[in-house]
Structures are given as C-alpha cells and as structure tokens.
Amino acid sequence: MGHRVLLIEDEPNIAEAIRFILQRDGWSVACHANGATASEAIERHHPDVVVLDIMLPQKSGFDILSDIRHGAETADLPVLMLTAKGQSKDKERAEKLGASAFMTKPFSNAEVIEQLRALVNR
C-alpha cells in the first residue's frame, strides 16, 4: 500500500496504538502532538491522509481542519477526525468544516484501517 498518514494526536498511548496498527497494515506513519505546529507538520510530511484529534494543546482540531480546507495545497486532503467527545454537535461542526470522516474513541482497529483505505481510494 505505502500510503502516508499524518497522525495528529497528543495522547501518547493512542498515537502509539494507531501508529502500530497502521504500520502493520503497510502505511507510512508520521506522528505529531501539537496543535499549534500541525500545519507545518502537514507541509513537511505531505500526507495522503490526516488523522486529526479534536482536543489538542494550543490549537483545536477544528481550527486545524479549517486551516487545511483553506490552504491551496491541502484543500482536498482527506481528514479523519478522531475524538473522545462523540456528541452530535462535534460531528456536525466537523462536517461543516469539511471533515472527510468522523470517528469516536474508543474505536476498533479494523474501523480505522477501513476508513483510511476508503479515504485514500476515493
């Protein structure tokens, strides 16, 4: 497969678990934990897809998603939003901002892989 995913997640255990399952599935995974520098990480890694947590230090996933959608180079970048807050208002906000997909924690490993494959193959 060889697709590149950028995982923007500040919880080390979750980041490590997702990184492990994706690498085992053949993905190239870069991890980033700081909301404030997420845009630079996207520019640096040129991912095929981004997995983006909503609650991040210094800048929310919603703000980062907005930046991605307003960037000339990143407007079409697939983004899977990941959150522990599964409220419908969060999902609605993510969809309004242009999230490609939305998933709540806890999630199954198979679901994450399936969702990411769908996003890069669309």
- For the stretch 71-83, pLDDT in tens is 999 999 999 999 8
Domain that residue 29 falls in: 4-120
Instruction: Note the pTM of the prediction, 2 decimals.
Output: 0.95
pLDDT at 34: 95
Q: Is the predicted pLDDT of residue 93 greater than 60, yes or no? A: yes
Q: Is the predicted pLDDT of residue 1 greater than 70, yes or no? A: no
Mean pLDDT of 39-53: 97
- For the chain, the domain total comes to 1
Mean pLDDT of 32-60: 96
Mean pLDDT of 12-31: 96
pLDDT at 2: 81
Helix pair angle (88-97, 61-70), 10° resolution: 20
Q: Which of 92, 1, 105, 4 is nearest to 50 (CA)?
A: 4
Q: What is the CATH number of the domain that holds 13?
A: 3.40.50.2300
Q: How far apart are CA 102 and CA 71, in angstroms?
A: 21
* Helix ranges (DSSP H) in the chain: 12-24, 38-45, 61-70, 88-97, 109-120
Average pLDDT in the chain: 94
